[in-house]
């Protein structure tokens, strides 16, 4: 009641305002009463969103908002409050019977019900706080203000929230405030963005959806099967016919070595587990019609017309296939962006496959800028919190860089240190061996020795092997 009375009279407190706010911060950090914390959050929300009053100042509002990071489960400040952690554990334990009973709920993920049917107050408190953080970042009045700078840790924690809906809202806000260019976005995520507050997590999971979002979501995708059909037919048109006479067939259309698509459904794997995939071949001059062609209404690829006009009939089949599917890029990368947030190992594998593809499509200047940013990122001291994690961010980055063509030019001693400290032995060895095979790198190593500086890949590789 006292807090509510003083809420609207804070501008009249004068010198006592600082003491009043200090006591509120102590309540936020130490109290384990969810009802009291909900009241405090409502009061702070009114102060933050009301920009007409001079008090509290923007600095004091930012101080209050940053202290509420203790509301977020798993944060460092939340783990320091033992009494609140115990209260959350008791609420979670009471909710287990309700979840095991199979009861359904329309509440958002993370706001679970207890055995008595009540909402988890701490999960609801966290959700309301993260909602307020989103409101601050989406409000143009706070753009590039001290408020957003102090809430960066809370924003990154929101991107890793267990609530899938809340996590998606944070990622959408981040994506809306980033340039659409893929090279610029990649440099921002790996160089400019500070991941110190979430350094103990596999934060590449949050980078992947932001990279997927830079694609053209409405661009259409041509199916793999139709591409192969059209491509094989075009190649068959350029080959000579087998034999002579009117019954001859083209080697590209009837050859099982050139077509590994199971058009008729008669595919049988090789007995020895090796060799090209084959399909049953029609006899010369035989008109064969597959069940798929009958059901779908597509042109029969084994008719007499197909033998005479192979490329055209297969091209029309490909066009008909594409017209029926209507698959866009968003249909593929959308679910993929959600999947990488659910499993760390899947995100690790996706990153090691995606980064080499992005690297291949970058220009020389963009590769140079990205290499400089990666060197500074890999040398950050906050990665030390991931030394015991498997997989970790350093392993994922080095594994992806080890298969990039051309390989990036990273400092040899940095690679040695990363390989030894973070368990990235094989990727560090691969990158160092590539540097030795590179003539320019060998010349640089000889120059470094002549200058009395031991920075060559030979020394780093020797230390890794020993």
pLDDT value at residue 66: 93
The mean predicted confidence, pLDDT, of the chain is 77
* Mean pLDDT, residues 380-385 taken together: 94
Q: Round the CA-based radius of gyration of the chain to a whole number and report it.
A: 31
The token pair that represents 273 in the structure block: 């587990």
* 425: pLDDT strictly greater than 80: yes
Q: Which residue has the tokens 């909900």?
A: 38
- With 0-12 / 13-18 / 19 or more C-beta atoms within 10 angstroms meaning exposed / middle / buried, residue 436 is middle
Contact 71, 129 (CB under 8 A): yes
CA angle 157, 160, 162 (to 5 degrees): 115
pLDDT value at residue 278: 38
pLDDT value at residue 229: 46
pLDDT value at residue 449: 55
pLDDT value at residue 445: 57
CB < 8 Å & 24+ apart, contacts of 345-348: 345/391, 347/202, 347/204, 347/205, 347/208, 348/202, 348/204, 348/391, 348/395, 348/396
Percent pLDDT > 70 in the chain is 65
pLDDT value at residue 232: 55
* 444: pLDDT strictly greater than 90: no
Separation between Cα atoms, residue 69 and residue 64, nearest integer Å: 9
* Mean pLDDT, residues 145-171 taken together: 94
pLDDT value at residue 323: 57
pLDDT value at residue 50: 86
Of the candidates 367, 365, 345, the one whose C-alpha atom is nearest the C-alpha of residue 355 is 367
The residues, ordered by sequence, that sit 6+ positions from 123 with a Cβ below 8 Å of its Cβ are: 73, 110, 111, 112
pLDDT value at residue 285: 40
pLDDT one-digit tens code per residue, 287-328: 444 444 444 444 554 555 545 555 554 455 556 555 556 788
* Mean pLDDT, residues 392-412 taken together: 95
Separation between Cα atoms, residue 432 and residue 456, nearest integer Å: 9
Query: pLDDT higher for 250 or 322?
Result: 322
pLDDT one-digit tens code per residue, 122-155: 999 999 999 999 999 999 999 989 999 999 999 9
Separation between Cα atoms, residue 60 and residue 372, nearest integer Å: 38
Contact 363, 353 (CB under 8 A): no
| pLDDT band at residue 221 under the 50/70/90 scheme | confident
The residues, ordered by sequence, that sit 6+ positions from 324 with a Cβ below 8 Å of its Cβ are: 296
Strand partners, 327: 221
* 284: pLDDT strictly greater than 90: no
DSSP 316-352: HHHHHHHHHH-EEHHHHHHHHHHHTTT-HHHHHHHHH
The number of helix segments (H) and strand segments (E) in the chain equals: 25, 4
Strand partners, 242: 249
Least confident of 18-27, 208-217, 437-446: 437-446
Percent pLDDT > 90 in the chain is 47
| pTM attached to this predicted model | 0.74
**Pairing label, strands 249-250, 241-242:** antiparallel
pLDDT value at residue 342: 94
* 258: pLDDT strictly greater than 70: no
Q: Distances from the Cα of 329 to the Cαs of 214, 249, 335, in angstroms?
A: 11, 38, 11
pLDDT value at residue 466: 81
* Mean pLDDT, residues 55-65 taken together: 92
* Mean pLDDT, residues 271-296 taken together: 42
pLDDT value at residue 105: 42
Separation between Cα atoms, residue 278 and residue 412, nearest integer Å: 48
At residue 309, the 3 state secondary structure works out as coil
State residue 263 phi and psi, 5-degree precision: -70, -40
Of the candidates 39, 82, 77, 64, the one whose C-alpha atom is nearest the C-alpha of residue 133 is 64
Contact 318, 310 (CB under 8 A): no
pLDDT value at residue 14: 79
Least confident of 76-80, 136-140, 258-262, 301-305: 258-262
* 270: pLDDT strictly greater than 70: no
Separation between Cα atoms, residue 127 and residue 278, nearest integer Å: 56
């Amino acid at each position: 009641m006292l807090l509510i009375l003083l809420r609207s009279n804070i501008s009249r407190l004068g010198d006592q305002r600082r003491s009043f706010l200090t006591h509120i911060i102590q309540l936020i950090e130490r109290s384990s009463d969810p009802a009291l914390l909900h009241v405090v959050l409502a009061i702070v929300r009114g102060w933050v969103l009301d920009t007409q009053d001079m008090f509290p100042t923007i600095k004091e509002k930012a101080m209050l908002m940053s202290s509420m990071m203790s509301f977020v489960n798993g944060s460092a400040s939340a783990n320091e409050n033992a009494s609140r952690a115990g209260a959350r554990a008791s609420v979670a334990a009471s909710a287990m019977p309700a979840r095991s009973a199979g009861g359904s709920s329309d509440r958002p993920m993370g706001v679970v019900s207890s055995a008595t049917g009540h909402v988890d107050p701490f999960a609801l408190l966290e959700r309301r706080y993260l909602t307020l953080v989103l409101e601050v970042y989406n409000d143009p009045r706070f753009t590039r203000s001290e408020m957003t700078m102090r809430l960066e840790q809370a924003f990154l924690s929101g991107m890793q929230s267990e609530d899938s809906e809340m996590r998606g809202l944070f990622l959408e806000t981040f994506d809306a405030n980033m340039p659409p260019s893929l090279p610029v976005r990649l440099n921002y995520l790996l160089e400019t963005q500070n991941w110190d507050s979430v350094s103990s997590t596999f934060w590449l999971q949050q980078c992947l959806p932001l990279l997927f979002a830079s694609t053209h979501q409405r661009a259409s995708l041509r199916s793999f099967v139709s591409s192969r059909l059209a491509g094989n037919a075009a190649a068959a048109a350029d080959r000579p016919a087998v034999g002579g006479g009117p019954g001859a067939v083209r080697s590209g259309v009837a050859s099982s070595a050139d077509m590994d698509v199971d058009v008729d459904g008669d595919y049988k794997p090789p007995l020895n587990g090796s060799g090209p995939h084959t399909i049953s071949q029609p006899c010369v001059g035989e008109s064969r019609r597959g069940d798929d062609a009958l059901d779908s209404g597509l042109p029969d690829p084994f008719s007499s017309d197909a033998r005479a006009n192979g490329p055209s009939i297969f091209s029309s089949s490909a066009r008909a296939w594409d017209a029926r599917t209507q698959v866009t890029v968003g249909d593929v990368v959308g679910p993929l962006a959600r999947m990488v947030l659910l499993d760390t190992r899947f995100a690790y594998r996706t990153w090691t496959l995606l980064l080499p593809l992005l690297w291949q499509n970058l220009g020389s200047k963009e590769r140079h800028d990205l290499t400089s940013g990666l060197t500074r990122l890999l040398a950050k001291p906050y990665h030390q919190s991931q030394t015991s994690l498997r997989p970790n961010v350093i392993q994922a980055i080095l594994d992806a860089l080890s298969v990039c063509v051309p390989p990036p030019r990273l400092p040899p001693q940095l690679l040695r240190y990363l390989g030894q400290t973070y368990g990235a032995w094989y990727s560090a060895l691969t990158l160092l061996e590539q540097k030795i095979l590179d003539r320019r790198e060998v010349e640089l190593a000889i120059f470094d020795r002549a200058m009395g500086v031991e920075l060559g890949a030979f020394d780093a590789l020797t230390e890794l092997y020993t």
